[in-house]
Structure 1
Amino acid sequence: MNDQCSFIFSEELLKYKFNSDHPFNQFRLKLTVDLLHRLNALDPKQIVPPRMATDEELSLIHDPSYIEAVKMAGHGQLPQTVAENYGLGTEDTPIFPNMHEASALLVGGTLTAVDQVMTGQSLHSLHLGGGLHHGFRGKASGFCIYNDSSVAIKYLQSKYNARVLYIDTDAHHGDGVQWSFYDDPNVCTLSIHETGRYLFPGTGNVNERGQGEGYGYSFNIPVDAFTEDESWLQAYTQSLKEVANFFKPDIILTQNGADSHYYDPLTHLSATMKIYREIPKLAHEIAHQYCGGKWVAVGGGGYDIWRVVPRAWALIWLEMTENSNCSGSLPQEWLDHWQGKAPVTLPINWDDPNDMYKPIPRKAEITEKNLLTLEKALYPIRHYQKSESS
């Protein structure tokens, strides 16, 4: 499978910036792109610049009055009391100049990736600037102003009549996307995330399965705090294989938040780079098995922008393009260029050391708990298959 791939990027995407102290920092895009360039793994011909989403496209998901509020906020014309009703001007989503334009470009990047794949220009397309899965119809939430994945799925339905499997491996539950399609049987959402007992947004319970005609098309696997690689990968591998076989999508859209890593400052999981090798590998396999290869991947969370995100996100592109140049040491030129600017010591290898952290005392208990959660999440599929075969 030497697949035609496109990489959606321009420096303009870095303008989605709340302030210099905010944990959401799109500078991680630049670090990732530079890592790929220094590996000679990203051909300039593969880079496609994002376009700006139109108001009509944003309105596929977002309320027109909310879009207007975002425009006004970005030009300093929205009173604070009104802004707060829209989730704007909060600690999570502070107002910044031209925020509508920056956010619409981010959404447009994901739509560019969709068009690349659905028109046959690419088999796979990666837009690391996207993946903002918390935005709601009329409200910003959790660093997300517009919800690019929700808009992209609606766009896939209206323009291409596609059945979409959305796979979210961010440590935070993909609530905005789930609720957008909660009653839609033509969109299947699968989210593997840290339990909401300790982490924003507090949703994503195993019992959130959809409603009305969409009942049975929403899958959630909330793993316990301190979950390690093996248990996390068991949940991911088993659920994705069974859900894909159940739903048989026309295209997969993967959200690739890189915040389940032990180093991430906002979450409480204990994964290493091992999971970031396996996530795109299985997604690639599933895309070819069920969708003729059609795969759009976006970014998402990831708040250790120096040690984790560049490696995790580079691995998605290296998997898409079947480039095996991702073992052993990281390029010395990349390390030399960025170490002086980084506030932490950069890792020198693609993989993490085995002794990165002390053993977790509750490992067996956490693993058992996650296994029970996985069984509960997949029970409807297994029960249905059993009744079909009997």
Structure 2
Amino acid sequence: MSKSIYYVYSNDFQSYKFNESHPFNQRRVELTTDLLKMSGALNESHIIPPRIATDEEIGLIHDPNYIEAVRKAGYGELSEDVANNYGLGTEDVPIFPNMHEASALLVGGTLTAVDLVMEGEADHAVSLGGGLHHGFRGKASGFCIYNDSAIAIKYMQQKYGVKVLYIDTDAHHGDGVQWSFYDDPNVCTFSIHETGRYLFPGTGNVSEKGQGQGYGTSFNIPVDAFTEDESFLECFVTAIREVAEFFKPDVIISQNGVDSHVLDPLTHLSTTMKVYREIPKLAHQLAHEHCDGRWIAVGGGGYDHWRVVPRAWSLIWLEMLEKQDEIARGALPTEWIEKWQPKSPVKLIPTWEDPSNLYPPIPRKQEITEKNMQTMEKALQHIRSSRKKAN
């Protein structure tokens, strides 16, 4: 059992809200928190409120002019032309009131989790409001204004002088984080995602390995559309174990997008809750094997707010608590179903596991599996060739 674990949360995470019809909705964090409380797995002693990140902290990654543009946009003081230059006011990133303050709170939540772990107050900490991995130095992208994960990594480097392994299992490539550290040998970025041939942002190819001193510390496994549990997990488990052994990190930060699930409306993968049970288990194991337990987890993508995200994200906290197998079996709490079903536009799945007939058989299963294995082997060639030379 960890000496302590913390859950960074505030109802104010809901203030990061574009509009009612936008796919990104932080209501999913409330749904997850409620499910954990009603399962008896989360109480007030676990919960730590987030702080608001300072402009200086946000400026570790983002340009000061961009930060000021975000602030002005939230006050209605930015012209449409200038806003568009910064990726603001688009279909993906509409302007909303006080967007700087709302975004700074998400960053602050991730930094709160970082300090809890790095100061030794906790082995593990989670802030599900974070994980906005598409934000760039001077531009918003893919529902993301400030890139809290990249800021957290730079913050850890400067304040604690650590080597950081960033693990990203979102269906969309973690482009903003990768490019922020593409030439940095002390940050290893690992992303397993749906191939960019069919999905935003279109990057994350195996050939993106880093540059300069950072060459060989960027790993991408773009899996084929309709990839199922077994193939996804085989690629993920094999690759991330080799990467962690090769890189030897001091701390792990995991981005836990859950939009690879077959029910997600924005992607084309075919995984189930089995994958989201295993991902945090492996992150937990690696943290204790390599990092003296230091593990920070954030949220990310996930656009079936009702049936998928609460169950999947709950498994992260339950793994930190070492009670996944004890609690996350069988029926969800009746109280949770009765509270949220009247508000849900779809019928909730009443069990922690997915039903067995969730989707029809995938016709190209063997072909997809073989292609994914080839992709993984290419991604790991650099590690294996480096070891051969060393020996």
* TM-score by shorter chain over 0.5: yes
Q: Quick check: 2:39–2:327 contact (8 Å CA) kept in 1?
A: yes
Which residue matches 1:223? Answer: 223
Which residue matches 1:235? Answer: 235
Tell me, what secondary structure is at the counterpart of 1:146?
A: coil
Q: State the distance in 2 between where 1:362 and 1:47 align.
A: 45
Which residue matches 1:355? Answer: 357
Q: CA deviation at 1:46?
A: 0.9
Q: CA deviation at 1:383?
A: 1.2
Tell me, what secondary structure is at the counterpart of 1:44?
A: coil
Which residue matches 2:367? Answer: 365
Which residue matches 2:58? Answer: 58
Q: State the distance in 2 between where 1:333 and 1:52 align.
A: 33
Aligned residues: 389
Between the aligned residues of both structures, percent identity stands at: 69
Q: State the distance in 1 between where 2:274 and 2:164 align.
A: 27
Which residue matches 2:348? Answer: 346
Tell me, what secondary structure is at the counterpart of 1:45?
A: coil
Which residue matches 1:309? Answer: 309
Tell me, what secondary structure is at the counterpart of 1:372?
A: helix
Say yes or no: does 1:122 pair with 2:128: no
Which residue matches 2:181? Answer: 181
Letter in 1 for 2:117: V
Which residue matches 2:300? Answer: 300
Tell me, what secondary structure is at the counterpart of 2:201?
A: coil
Q: State the distance in 1 between where 2:23 and 2:363 align.
A: 30
Q: CA deviation at 1:2?
A: 3.6
Query: What RMSD over aligned residues (CA atoms) do the two structures have, in Å?
Result: 0.6
Q: Quick check: 2:165–2:187 contact (8 Å CA) kept in 1?
A: yes
Q: State the distance in 2 between where 1:311 and 1:337 align.
A: 15
Deviations 1:107-153 (A, max 9, x none): 00000000000011111000000000000000000000000000000
**TM value normalised by structure 2:** 0.99
Q: Quick check: 1:87–1:141 contact (8 Å CA) kept in 2?
A: yes
Which residue matches 1:379? Answer: 381
Q: Quick check: 1:170–1:258 contact (8 Å CA) kept in 2?
A: yes
Q: Quick check: 2:2–2:123 contact (8 Å CA) kept in 1?
A: no
Q: CA deviation at 1:39?
A: 0.6
1:1-390 aligned at under 5 Å gives the runs: 1-323=1-323, 324-389=326-391
Letter in 1 for 2:120: G
Q: State the distance in 2 between where 1:302 and 1:2 align.
A: 28
Q: State the distance in 2 between where 1:286 and 1:3 align.
A: 17
Deviations 1:322-371 (A, max 9, x none): 11211111111111111111000000111112221110000000000000
Letter in 2 for 1:346: L
Q: CA deviation at 1:387?
A: 2.3
Q: State the distance in 2 between where 1:58 and 1:328 align.
A: 42
Q: CA deviation at 1:385?
A: 1.4
Letter in 1 for 2:360: K
Q: State the distance in 2 between where 1:137 and 1:80 align.
A: 20
Letter in 2 for 1:169: T
Tell me, what secondary structure is at the counterpart of 2:327?
A: coil
Q: CA deviation at 1:386?
A: 2.0
Q: Quick check: 1:3–1:321 contact (8 Å CA) kept in 2?
A: no
Q: CA deviation at 1:311?
A: 0.2
**TM value normalised by structure 1:** 0.99
Q: State the distance in 2 between where 1:3 and 1:40 align.
A: 19
Q: CA deviation at 1:212?
A: 0.4
Tell me, what secondary structure is at the counterpart of 1:243?
A: helix
State which drifts further: 348-357 or 219-228: 348-357
Letter in 1 for 2:304: D
Q: Quick check: 1:3–1:124 contact (8 Å CA) kept in 2?
A: no
